[in-house]
Amino acid sequence: MRRKLFTLIALLTFASFILAACGGTATQTPAAPTAASGAAAPTAAAAMAPTAAAAMAPTAAAAMAPTAAAAMAPTAAAAMAPTAAGAAPAAGGALAVGIVLPTKDETRWTQDEARFKEALDKAGYQVEILFSEKDSAKEKANVESLITKGIKVLILTPVDGTAAASTAAAARAAGVKVISYDRLIRDTDAVDYYVTFDSLAVGAQQAQYLVDKAGSAKGQPLYLYAGAASDNNAFIFFQGAWNVLQPKIADGTFVIKNSSEAIALQSKMELTRDEQAKIIAQVTTDWAPATAKTLAESNLTTATAADKGNVFILAPNDDTARAIGDTFAADKDVKTFLITGQDAAPASVQYIIDGKQSMTVFKDVRTLVADSISAAVALLQDKAPTAKGSYNNGKVDVPAIQSPVVTVDKANVKAALFDSGYYKTSDYTGL
Protein backbone atom coordinates (compact mmCIF):
# COMPACT_ATOMS: atom_id res chain seq x y z
CA MET A 1 0.00 0.00 0.00
CA ARG A 2 2.78 2.39 1.03
CA ARG A 3 4.64 1.43 -2.15
CA LYS A 4 1.56 2.18 -4.27
CA LEU A 5 1.20 5.54 -2.58
CA PHE A 6 4.84 6.27 -3.18
CA THR A 7 4.53 5.33 -6.85
CA LEU A 8 1.47 7.56 -7.22
CA ILE A 9 3.22 10.49 -5.56
CA ALA A 10 6.24 9.95 -7.79
CA LEU A 11 4.01 9.89 -10.85
CA LEU A 12 2.16 13.03 -9.83
CA THR A 13 5.41 14.80 -9.14
CA PHE A 14 6.85 13.74 -12.46
CA ALA A 15 3.70 14.76 -14.34
CA SER A 16 3.58 18.16 -12.69
CA PHE A 17 7.25 18.64 -13.51
CA ILE A 18 6.53 17.89 -17.18
CA LEU A 19 3.46 20.12 -17.20
CA ALA A 20 5.37 22.91 -15.53
CA ALA A 21 8.08 22.49 -18.14
CA CYS A 22 5.37 22.83 -20.81
CA GLY A 23 3.88 25.87 -19.11
CA GLY A 24 0.78 23.95 -18.01
CA THR A 25 -0.72 23.24 -14.64
CA ALA A 26 -1.15 19.76 -13.28
CA THR A 27 -4.57 18.95 -11.98
CA GLN A 28 -6.15 15.74 -10.81
CA THR A 29 -9.62 16.91 -11.78
CA PRO A 30 -10.25 16.01 -15.40
CA ALA A 31 -11.61 18.92 -17.41
CA ALA A 32 -14.43 18.52 -19.90
CA PRO A 33 -13.22 17.13 -23.20
CA THR A 34 -11.86 19.97 -25.29
CA ALA A 35 -10.69 19.74 -28.85
CA ALA A 36 -7.32 21.06 -29.80
CA SER A 37 -8.96 22.37 -32.96
CA GLY A 38 -6.36 24.04 -35.11
CA ALA A 39 -3.73 23.76 -32.41
CA ALA A 40 -0.36 22.33 -33.32
CA ALA A 41 -0.18 20.23 -30.20
CA PRO A 42 -2.63 19.32 -27.47
CA THR A 43 -2.72 21.89 -24.72
CA ALA A 44 -2.02 20.73 -21.20
CA ALA A 45 -5.77 20.97 -20.59
CA ALA A 46 -6.57 18.83 -23.60
CA ALA A 47 -3.97 16.32 -22.56
CA MET A 48 -5.63 16.09 -19.18
CA ALA A 49 -9.13 15.70 -20.60
CA PRO A 50 -11.09 12.71 -19.34
CA THR A 51 -9.91 9.57 -20.97
CA ALA A 52 -11.64 6.34 -21.68
CA ALA A 53 -9.60 4.82 -18.89
CA ALA A 54 -10.55 7.62 -16.54
CA ALA A 55 -14.18 7.38 -17.56
CA MET A 56 -14.25 3.65 -17.01
CA ALA A 57 -12.09 3.43 -13.93
CA PRO A 58 -11.66 6.88 -12.46
CA THR A 59 -8.46 6.88 -10.47
CA ALA A 60 -5.94 9.66 -10.04
CA ALA A 61 -3.47 7.54 -11.95
CA ALA A 62 -5.90 7.11 -14.84
CA ALA A 63 -6.56 10.84 -14.96
CA MET A 64 -2.86 11.46 -15.19
CA ALA A 65 -2.43 8.98 -17.99
CA PRO A 66 -2.25 11.07 -21.16
CA THR A 67 0.43 13.49 -20.04
CA ALA A 68 2.51 11.00 -18.16
CA ALA A 69 2.27 8.52 -21.02
CA ALA A 70 3.30 11.11 -23.57
CA ALA A 71 6.05 12.52 -21.45
CA MET A 72 7.48 9.18 -20.54
CA ALA A 73 6.98 7.43 -23.86
CA PRO A 74 10.39 5.96 -24.51
CA THR A 75 11.73 5.52 -28.00
CA ALA A 76 11.50 1.97 -29.17
CA ALA A 77 15.24 1.60 -28.88
CA ALA A 78 15.20 2.95 -25.34
CA ALA A 79 12.40 0.59 -24.46
CA MET A 80 14.56 -2.32 -25.44
CA ALA A 81 17.65 -1.00 -23.74
CA PRO A 82 18.74 -2.74 -20.55
CA THR A 83 18.61 0.49 -18.56
CA ALA A 84 14.99 1.18 -19.46
CA ALA A 85 13.74 -2.33 -18.95
CA GLY A 86 16.07 -3.91 -16.44
CA ALA A 87 17.98 -6.93 -17.71
CA ALA A 88 16.29 -6.94 -21.12
CA PRO A 89 16.73 -9.97 -23.34
CA ALA A 90 19.89 -9.65 -25.41
CA ALA A 91 19.40 -7.79 -28.65
CA GLY A 92 20.30 -9.21 -32.02
CA GLY A 93 18.11 -12.28 -32.06
CA ALA A 94 14.63 -13.63 -32.01
CA LEU A 95 12.43 -12.21 -29.28
CA ALA A 96 9.80 -14.60 -27.94
CA VAL A 97 7.06 -12.19 -28.97
CA GLY A 98 4.47 -12.49 -31.73
CA ILE A 99 2.37 -9.68 -33.18
CA VAL A 100 -1.03 -10.23 -34.80
CA LEU A 101 -2.73 -7.30 -36.53
CA PRO A 102 -6.27 -7.30 -37.98
CA THR A 103 -5.89 -6.52 -41.68
CA LYS A 104 -3.71 -4.90 -44.31
CA ASP A 105 -6.81 -3.43 -45.97
CA GLU A 106 -7.18 -0.66 -43.37
CA THR A 107 -4.38 1.91 -43.66
CA ARG A 108 -3.95 2.12 -39.94
CA TRP A 109 -2.45 -1.36 -39.53
CA THR A 110 0.10 -1.08 -42.32
CA GLN A 111 1.33 2.00 -40.49
CA ASP A 112 1.64 0.01 -37.26
CA GLU A 113 3.45 -2.78 -39.10
CA ALA A 114 5.95 -0.29 -40.54
CA ARG A 115 6.54 1.36 -37.16
CA PHE A 116 6.95 -2.01 -35.42
CA LYS A 117 9.51 -3.07 -38.04
CA GLU A 118 11.36 0.23 -37.72
CA ALA A 119 11.53 -0.05 -33.91
CA LEU A 120 12.42 -3.75 -33.85
CA ASP A 121 15.10 -3.36 -36.52
CA LYS A 122 16.63 -0.52 -34.55
CA ALA A 123 16.75 -2.70 -31.45
CA GLY A 124 18.07 -5.67 -33.42
CA TYR A 125 15.14 -7.99 -32.75
CA GLN A 126 13.32 -10.33 -35.08
CA VAL A 127 9.65 -10.64 -34.31
CA GLU A 128 6.99 -12.20 -36.50
CA ILE A 129 4.07 -9.96 -37.53
CA LEU A 130 0.98 -11.69 -38.93
CA PHE A 131 -2.28 -10.28 -40.35
CA SER A 132 -5.72 -11.78 -39.83
CA GLU A 133 -7.51 -10.59 -42.99
CA LYS A 134 -10.45 -9.28 -40.92
CA ASP A 135 -11.28 -12.87 -40.00
CA SER A 136 -11.40 -14.11 -36.38
CA ALA A 137 -10.77 -17.71 -37.46
CA LYS A 138 -7.61 -16.64 -39.30
CA GLU A 139 -6.63 -14.63 -36.21
CA LYS A 140 -6.94 -17.73 -34.03
CA ALA A 141 -4.90 -19.78 -36.52
CA ASN A 142 -2.22 -17.06 -36.51
CA VAL A 143 -2.04 -17.09 -32.72
CA GLU A 144 -1.94 -20.89 -32.59
CA SER A 145 0.94 -20.97 -35.05
CA LEU A 146 2.88 -18.42 -33.00
CA ILE A 147 2.24 -20.42 -29.82
CA THR A 148 3.61 -23.50 -31.57
CA LYS A 149 6.71 -21.49 -32.48
CA GLY A 150 7.30 -20.79 -28.80
CA ILE A 151 6.29 -17.16 -28.23
CA LYS A 152 5.98 -16.08 -24.61
CA VAL A 153 4.20 -12.77 -25.24
CA LEU A 154 1.42 -12.09 -27.76
CA ILE A 155 0.65 -8.56 -28.96
CA LEU A 156 -2.83 -8.80 -30.47
CA THR A 157 -5.18 -6.31 -32.12
CA PRO A 158 -8.42 -8.27 -32.37
CA VAL A 159 -10.59 -8.25 -35.48
CA ASP A 160 -13.57 -8.75 -33.16
CA GLY A 161 -12.99 -7.92 -29.49
CA THR A 162 -15.40 -10.52 -28.13
CA ALA A 163 -14.54 -13.31 -30.56
CA ALA A 164 -10.87 -12.89 -29.57
CA ALA A 165 -11.64 -13.91 -25.96
CA SER A 166 -11.21 -17.61 -26.72
CA THR A 167 -7.99 -16.91 -28.64
CA ALA A 168 -6.59 -15.00 -25.66
CA ALA A 169 -7.67 -17.86 -23.38
CA ALA A 170 -5.79 -20.34 -25.61
CA ALA A 171 -2.68 -18.18 -25.31
CA ARG A 172 -3.07 -17.97 -21.54
CA ALA A 173 -3.50 -21.76 -21.33
CA ALA A 174 -0.18 -22.12 -23.19
CA GLY A 175 1.54 -19.84 -20.67
CA VAL A 176 1.70 -16.88 -23.09
CA LYS A 177 1.12 -13.33 -21.78
CA VAL A 178 -1.37 -11.31 -23.79
CA ILE A 179 -1.07 -7.61 -24.64
CA SER A 180 -4.19 -6.11 -26.20
CA TYR A 181 -2.92 -3.61 -28.75
CA ASP A 182 -5.08 -0.55 -29.58
CA ARG A 183 -8.33 -2.56 -29.49
CA LEU A 184 -9.51 -4.19 -26.26
CA ILE A 185 -10.07 -7.96 -26.11
CA ARG A 186 -13.40 -8.25 -24.31
CA ASP A 187 -15.15 -10.56 -21.86
CA THR A 188 -12.17 -12.60 -20.68
CA ASP A 189 -9.65 -12.42 -17.87
CA ALA A 190 -6.92 -13.70 -20.22
CA VAL A 191 -5.61 -10.21 -21.04
CA ASP A 192 -2.54 -9.07 -19.12
CA TYR A 193 -2.16 -5.52 -20.38
CA TYR A 194 -3.73 -2.96 -22.73
CA VAL A 195 -1.76 -0.43 -24.79
CA THR A 196 -3.98 2.18 -26.41
CA PHE A 197 -4.65 5.76 -27.37
CA ASP A 198 -7.11 8.01 -25.58
CA SER A 199 -10.02 6.86 -27.72
CA LEU A 200 -12.61 8.90 -25.83
CA ALA A 201 -10.61 12.00 -26.76
CA VAL A 202 -10.55 10.87 -30.43
CA GLY A 203 -14.35 11.05 -30.60
CA ALA A 204 -14.47 14.22 -28.50
CA GLN A 205 -11.98 16.01 -30.76
CA GLN A 206 -13.86 15.00 -33.91
CA ALA A 207 -17.14 16.29 -32.46
CA GLN A 208 -15.59 19.45 -31.03
CA TYR A 209 -14.25 20.30 -34.47
CA LEU A 210 -17.77 20.18 -35.92
CA VAL A 211 -19.21 22.13 -32.97
CA ASP A 212 -16.58 24.87 -33.26
CA LYS A 213 -17.20 25.29 -36.99
CA ALA A 214 -20.99 25.21 -36.64
CA GLY A 215 -21.17 28.35 -34.50
CA SER A 216 -24.57 29.33 -33.15
CA ALA A 217 -26.88 28.94 -36.18
CA LYS A 218 -29.71 26.47 -35.65
CA GLY A 219 -30.94 23.53 -37.74
CA GLN A 220 -27.66 22.50 -39.35
CA PRO A 221 -27.72 19.02 -40.96
CA LEU A 222 -25.63 16.39 -39.20
CA TYR A 223 -24.79 12.95 -40.59
CA LEU A 224 -23.35 10.38 -38.18
CA TYR A 225 -21.13 7.44 -39.10
CA ALA A 226 -19.37 4.91 -36.85
CA GLY A 227 -16.77 2.14 -36.92
CA ALA A 228 -17.33 -1.61 -36.78
CA ALA A 229 -19.61 -2.85 -34.00
CA SER A 230 -17.18 -5.74 -33.40
CA ASP A 231 -14.50 -3.20 -32.39
CA ASN A 232 -14.72 -1.92 -28.82
CA ASN A 233 -13.04 1.29 -29.98
CA ALA A 234 -16.02 2.12 -32.20
CA PHE A 235 -18.09 2.45 -29.02
CA ILE A 236 -15.52 4.60 -27.23
CA PHE A 237 -15.09 6.91 -30.26
CA PHE A 238 -18.86 7.23 -30.56
CA GLN A 239 -19.27 7.87 -26.85
CA GLY A 240 -16.60 10.59 -26.94
CA ALA A 241 -18.32 12.25 -29.90
CA TRP A 242 -21.82 11.92 -28.47
CA ASN A 243 -20.76 13.58 -25.20
CA VAL A 244 -19.84 16.70 -27.17
CA LEU A 245 -22.51 16.60 -29.89
CA GLN A 246 -25.56 15.74 -27.78
CA PRO A 247 -25.97 19.18 -26.12
CA LYS A 248 -25.68 20.78 -29.56
CA ILE A 249 -28.31 18.42 -30.94
CA ALA A 250 -30.54 19.05 -27.92
CA ASP A 251 -30.28 22.86 -28.36
CA GLY A 252 -31.14 22.65 -32.07
CA THR A 253 -27.74 23.60 -33.51
CA PHE A 254 -27.55 20.24 -35.29
CA VAL A 255 -30.36 18.13 -36.72
CA ILE A 256 -29.50 14.44 -37.22
CA LYS A 257 -30.40 13.34 -40.74
CA ASN A 258 -29.47 9.69 -41.01
CA SER A 259 -30.30 7.73 -37.86
CA SER A 260 -33.79 7.28 -36.38
CA GLU A 261 -32.19 5.54 -33.37
CA ALA A 262 -29.95 8.55 -32.68
CA ILE A 263 -32.95 10.87 -33.05
CA ALA A 264 -34.94 8.74 -30.59
CA LEU A 265 -32.08 9.06 -28.06
CA GLN A 266 -31.08 12.66 -28.77
CA SER A 267 -32.23 14.07 -25.44
CA LYS A 268 -30.06 11.56 -23.54
CA MET A 269 -26.47 12.47 -22.70
CA GLU A 270 -25.41 9.18 -21.11
CA LEU A 271 -26.07 6.27 -23.45
CA THR A 272 -25.84 2.66 -22.34
CA ARG A 273 -23.74 0.30 -24.45
CA ASP A 274 -26.98 -1.21 -25.81
CA GLU A 275 -28.25 2.22 -26.83
CA GLN A 276 -24.94 3.02 -28.50
CA ALA A 277 -25.14 -0.36 -30.25
CA LYS A 278 -28.57 0.53 -31.68
CA ILE A 279 -27.24 3.74 -33.22
CA ILE A 280 -24.00 2.13 -34.40
CA ALA A 281 -26.00 -0.65 -36.11
CA GLN A 282 -27.69 2.03 -38.26
CA VAL A 283 -24.60 4.07 -39.08
CA THR A 284 -21.75 1.55 -39.11
CA THR A 285 -19.16 1.65 -41.87
CA ASP A 286 -17.68 -1.61 -40.61
CA TRP A 287 -14.40 0.27 -41.07
CA ALA A 288 -14.73 -0.43 -44.82
CA PRO A 289 -14.67 2.40 -47.40
CA ALA A 290 -17.01 0.47 -49.74
CA THR A 291 -19.59 0.02 -46.97
CA ALA A 292 -19.20 3.66 -45.97
CA LYS A 293 -19.78 4.77 -49.58
CA THR A 294 -22.90 2.61 -50.00
CA LEU A 295 -24.33 3.87 -46.71
CA ALA A 296 -23.64 7.52 -47.55
CA GLU A 297 -25.24 7.06 -50.97
CA SER A 298 -28.32 5.52 -49.42
CA ASN A 299 -28.52 8.31 -46.80
CA LEU A 300 -28.29 10.96 -49.51
CA THR A 301 -30.94 9.22 -51.61
CA THR A 302 -33.35 9.25 -48.67
CA ALA A 303 -32.54 12.84 -47.67
CA THR A 304 -34.36 15.78 -49.30
CA ALA A 305 -32.56 18.80 -50.76
CA ALA A 306 -33.50 20.65 -47.57
CA ASP A 307 -31.60 18.01 -45.54
CA LYS A 308 -28.44 18.91 -47.42
CA GLY A 309 -26.93 22.36 -48.11
CA ASN A 310 -24.07 23.00 -45.69
CA VAL A 311 -23.61 19.69 -43.90
CA PHE A 312 -21.61 18.37 -40.97
CA ILE A 313 -20.35 14.79 -41.05
CA LEU A 314 -18.98 12.75 -38.17
CA ALA A 315 -16.84 10.16 -39.98
CA PRO A 316 -15.05 7.69 -37.69
CA ASN A 317 -11.69 7.37 -39.45
CA ASP A 318 -9.73 8.54 -42.48
CA ASP A 319 -10.33 5.61 -44.83
CA THR A 320 -14.10 5.90 -44.40
CA ALA A 321 -14.00 9.74 -44.36
CA ARG A 322 -12.53 9.84 -47.87
CA ALA A 323 -15.24 7.48 -49.16
CA ILE A 324 -18.04 9.39 -47.42
CA GLY A 325 -16.62 12.80 -48.36
CA ASP A 326 -16.31 11.86 -52.05
CA THR A 327 -19.94 10.71 -52.00
CA PHE A 328 -21.18 13.97 -50.45
CA ALA A 329 -19.00 15.99 -52.82
CA ALA A 330 -20.77 14.32 -55.77
CA ASP A 331 -24.27 15.33 -54.58
CA LYS A 332 -25.44 18.52 -56.30
CA ASP A 333 -27.56 19.56 -53.29
CA VAL A 334 -24.59 19.45 -50.92
CA LYS A 335 -23.09 22.96 -51.05
CA THR A 336 -20.34 22.49 -48.48
CA PHE A 337 -19.42 19.80 -46.01
CA LEU A 338 -17.19 19.48 -43.00
CA ILE A 339 -15.96 15.97 -42.30
CA THR A 340 -13.88 14.42 -39.53
CA GLY A 341 -11.44 11.51 -39.56
CA GLN A 342 -8.66 9.88 -37.55
CA ASP A 343 -5.29 8.19 -38.10
CA ALA A 344 -3.52 10.83 -40.21
CA ALA A 345 -3.56 8.24 -43.00
CA PRO A 346 -1.28 9.44 -45.82
CA ALA A 347 -4.11 9.70 -48.39
CA SER A 348 -6.18 11.75 -45.95
CA VAL A 349 -3.28 14.02 -45.15
CA GLN A 350 -3.22 14.84 -48.89
CA TYR A 351 -7.03 15.33 -48.76
CA ILE A 352 -6.59 17.79 -45.89
CA ILE A 353 -3.92 19.71 -47.81
CA ASP A 354 -6.27 19.75 -50.82
CA GLY A 355 -9.29 20.85 -48.75
CA LYS A 356 -11.22 17.62 -49.36
CA GLN A 357 -11.22 16.43 -45.71
CA SER A 358 -11.57 18.90 -42.83
CA MET A 359 -9.56 17.25 -40.06
CA THR A 360 -8.01 14.09 -38.75
CA VAL A 361 -7.03 12.95 -35.29
CA PHE A 362 -3.32 12.13 -35.27
CA LYS A 363 -2.37 9.09 -33.25
CA ASP A 364 1.41 8.76 -33.07
CA VAL A 365 1.80 5.05 -33.63
CA ARG A 366 5.47 5.19 -32.64
CA THR A 367 4.42 5.76 -29.02
CA LEU A 368 2.08 2.79 -29.01
CA VAL A 369 4.76 0.58 -30.55
CA ALA A 370 7.34 1.70 -27.98
CA ASP A 371 4.91 1.17 -25.10
CA SER A 372 4.01 -2.32 -26.23
CA ILE A 373 7.63 -3.34 -26.75
CA SER A 374 8.43 -2.07 -23.25
CA ALA A 375 5.49 -4.02 -21.87
CA ALA A 376 6.53 -7.17 -23.74
CA VAL A 377 10.06 -6.92 -22.37
CA ALA A 378 8.71 -6.46 -18.82
CA LEU A 379 6.38 -9.45 -19.20
CA LEU A 380 9.23 -11.60 -20.56
CA GLN A 381 11.01 -10.83 -17.31
CA ASP A 382 7.92 -11.66 -15.25
CA LYS A 383 7.51 -8.04 -14.30
CA ALA A 384 4.27 -6.04 -14.41
CA PRO A 385 4.42 -3.37 -17.13
CA THR A 386 3.88 0.18 -15.96
CA ALA A 387 0.13 0.85 -15.89
CA LYS A 388 -1.47 4.30 -15.69
CA GLY A 389 -5.07 3.22 -15.20
CA SER A 390 -7.29 0.41 -16.35
CA TYR A 391 -10.06 -0.43 -18.78
CA ASN A 392 -12.92 -2.74 -17.90
CA ASN A 393 -13.33 -5.32 -20.65
CA GLY A 394 -16.70 -6.62 -19.45
CA LYS A 395 -15.02 -9.18 -17.19
CA VAL A 396 -11.95 -7.63 -15.54
CA ASP A 397 -10.14 -4.31 -15.21
CA VAL A 398 -7.19 -4.61 -17.57
CA PRO A 399 -4.13 -2.55 -16.53
CA ALA A 400 -3.50 -0.03 -19.29
CA ILE A 401 -1.32 2.71 -20.64
CA GLN A 402 -2.74 5.24 -23.07
CA SER A 403 -1.36 7.95 -25.30
CA PRO A 404 -2.80 11.36 -26.13
CA VAL A 405 -4.11 12.31 -29.58
CA VAL A 406 -3.92 15.56 -31.54
CA THR A 407 -6.42 17.33 -33.82
CA VAL A 408 -4.87 18.12 -37.21
CA ASP A 409 -6.42 20.27 -39.92
CA LYS A 410 -5.12 22.42 -42.75
CA ALA A 411 -3.93 25.09 -40.32
CA ASN A 412 -1.51 22.86 -38.41
CA VAL A 413 -0.87 19.94 -40.74
CA LYS A 414 2.62 21.16 -41.62
CA ALA A 415 3.71 21.69 -38.02
CA ALA A 416 2.11 18.52 -36.65
CA LEU A 417 3.07 15.99 -39.31
CA PHE A 418 5.94 17.38 -41.39
CA ASP A 419 8.02 19.70 -39.20
CA SER A 420 7.90 16.92 -36.60
CA GLY A 421 9.42 14.49 -39.13
CA TYR A 422 6.49 12.05 -39.00
CA TYR A 423 5.97 12.30 -42.77
CA LYS A 424 8.17 13.57 -45.61
CA THR A 425 7.01 16.63 -47.56
CA SER A 426 8.40 15.06 -50.74
CA ASP A 427 5.60 12.45 -50.60
CA TYR A 428 2.90 15.16 -50.80
CA THR A 429 1.88 17.96 -53.12
CA GLY A 430 0.61 21.47 -52.39
CA LEU A 431 2.29 21.99 -49.04
- Pick out residues in 55-74 that bind ligand BGC (CB under 6 A): none
Binding part of the chain for ligand BGC, among 3-11, 60-68, 225-233, 378-386 by CB under 6 A, reads: 225-233
Residue 201 near residue 236, CB atoms below 8 Å: no
Q: Point out which residues pair with 194 in neighbouring strands.
A: 180, 400
Would you call 190 helix, strand, or coil by DSSP? Answer: coil
Residue 416 near residue 79, CB atoms below 8 Å: no
Closest distance of CB 350 from ligand BGC, Å:
17
Taking the least distance from each CB to ligand BGC, the nearer of 184 and 262 is: 184
Q: Is beta strand 406-409 parallel, antiparallel or unpaired with respect to 397-403? A: unpaired
x-or-dash pattern for ligand BGC, window 255-294, by CB under 6 A? --------------------------------x-------
What is the C-alpha to C-alpha distance for residues 10 and 16, in angstroms, rounded to an integer?
Answer: 10
Residues touching ligand BGC, count (CB under 6 A): 11
What is the C-alpha to C-alpha distance for residues 87 and 89, in angstroms, rounded to an integer?
Answer: 7
Among 11, 108, 230, 299, binds ligand BGC (CB under 6 A): 108
**Interaction of residue 160 with ligand BGC, rule CB under 6 A:** no
**Interaction of residue 192 with ligand BGC, rule CB under 6 A:** no
Residue 134 near residue 104, CB atoms below 8 Å: no
Closest distance of CB 17 from ligand BGC, Å:
30
x-or-dash pattern for ligand BGC, window 304-343, by CB under 6 A? -------------x------------------------xx
Among 134, 152, 183, 186, binds ligand BGC (CB under 6 A): 183
Question: How many residues make up the chain in this entry?
Answer: 431
Among 50, 106, 177, 323, binds ligand BGC (CB under 6 A): 106
What is the C-alpha to C-alpha distance for residues 239 and 431, in angstroms, rounded to an integer?
Answer: 34
Helices (H), 136-284: 136-148, 164-173, 199-214, 232-250, 260-264, 273-283
According to the 3-state scheme, what is the secondary structure of 245-260? Answer: HHHHHHCCCEEECCCH
**Interaction of residue 182 with ligand BGC, rule CB under 6 A:** yes
What is the C-alpha to C-alpha distance for residues 64 and 10, in angstroms, rounded to an integer?
Answer: 12
Taking the least distance from each CB to ligand BGC, the nearer of 309 and 394 is: 394
What residues line the site for ligand BGC (CB under 6 A)? 106, 108, 182-183, 227, 231, 233, 287, 317, 342-343
